[in-house]
Amino acid sequence: MSLANLEHQARTELESCSDEAALRAWHNKYFGKQGEVLLALKKVGSVPPEERRSYGQEANRVKEALTEAHDAALAKVKERALAQSLNAAAVDVTLPGRPLTRGRWHIANRILRDIAAIFSDLGFQIYRSREVEDDFTNFELLNMPPHHPARDMWDTFHTTVPGVLLRTHTSPGQIHVMREHCPEPIRVILPGMCYRYETITTRSEIMFHQVEGLAVGARVTMADLKGTIVAFARRMFGEERQVRIRSSYFPFTEPSIEVDMDCIVCAGKGCSLCKRSGWLEIMGAGMVHPVVLQNGGYDPAKFSGFAFGMGPQRITMLKYAIDDIRQFWTNDLRFLRQF
């Protein structure tokens, strides 16, 4: 085959190569160990001497021209393959994005934070106290000796360790905070979980939050207590709220009071929420009992104090008209997403 024919044939075949595999085969055919271009170059020895020079030059030109043509074809094929793969994996920027769901505070925690914010504006600090208590602090130091009838008010979860229990109220925190800060004046709230061994109903759970408040100082009076409660009720439920105080009994306060607020639904006219009374019970309170002050390290002759306790779940139920306390801990997102 003449060099001209060889070049023509090689170029024609090159043009029909559409992918890298075909190009590899082509390259092998012309430039492999037995490739036709290399064979043509080797033939220079068998050419008559007078033609040898021009044959050699022409053979080299054909070799270089075909190499160049091959490289160009290879580049083109690679480019096309890249474009194809980009197309295949294309991102459709017009598709709507996947929604990112944002978390939020559980309603129980949010109310705790709301309550804490109101009391911190009133100068109260937050004091965290343990949930696992000893019998002595949970009852006795709060003026409830072992056979005190008030102990019946708290059905208790006892642990397997004698005398160790889950606190039934946040009040033992009063003893801890007093002993820690005595004889300095105190103004704290004690929020946290409490546990009672009770039948679970729409109105009572075995675990629930309480927020206790405690103020101890040289001249703390019932008027301070009342002012604090009224300020809280109005910040929490609206400026127009009225507060009513009834006498009550708790072993750790003397005198003890129960605090009612005019109904947020009917404003005192009477409805189903307030059971036609026009009033809603929001907390228990009183002046700290002298025995409790003493147990906390304060001399009742020089110091006085007030304390109050409320159930944030009950406050939340009033505020949002929730009719079942069990909703707070069942993790039902349909409930939780409403807040």
Residues engaged in binding Zn ion (CB under 5 A):
263, 265-266, 271, 273-274
Specify burial of residue 64 (Cβ count, 10 A radius: 0-12, 13-18, 19+).
exposed
Radius of gyration for the chain, computed over Cα atoms and rounded to the nearest angstrom: 44
For the CB of residue 237, give the shortest distance to Zn ion in the complex, in Å: 13
The rounded distance, in Å, linking the Cα atoms of 152 and 147 is 9
The rounded distance, in Å, linking the Cα atoms of 297 and 290 is 11
Q: Which is nearer to Zn ion, 34 or 272 (CB)?
A: 272
Q: Which is nearer to Zn ion, 229 or 264 (CB)?
A: 264
For the CB of residue 281, give the shortest distance to Zn ion in the complex, in Å: 12
For the CB of residue 280, give the shortest distance to Zn ion in the complex, in Å: 7
Q: Which is nearer to Zn ion, 40 or 263 (CB)?
A: 263
End-to-end Cα distance, the chain: 89
- What is the token pair recorded at 20? 């890298």
Phi (first) and psi of residue 70, to 5 degrees: -65, -45
Q: Which is nearer to Zn ion, 23 or 263 (CB)?
A: 263
For the CB of residue 181, give the shortest distance to Zn ion in the complex, in Å: 41
Q: Which is nearer to Zn ion, 274 or 307 (CB)?
A: 274
For the CB of residue 163, give the shortest distance to Zn ion in the complex, in Å: 44
The rounded distance, in Å, linking the Cα atoms of 297 and 177 is 10
For the CB of residue 251, give the shortest distance to Zn ion in the complex, in Å: 31
The rounded distance, in Å, linking the Cα atoms of 243 and 218 is 26
- Nearest residue relative to Zn ion (C-beta): 263
CA distances from 276 to 203, 257, 268, 271, 324 (A): 18, 22, 9, 5, 20
Question: 99 Cβ partners below 8 Å, 6+ apart?
Answer: none
Q: Which is nearer to Zn ion, 37 or 236 (CB)?
A: 236
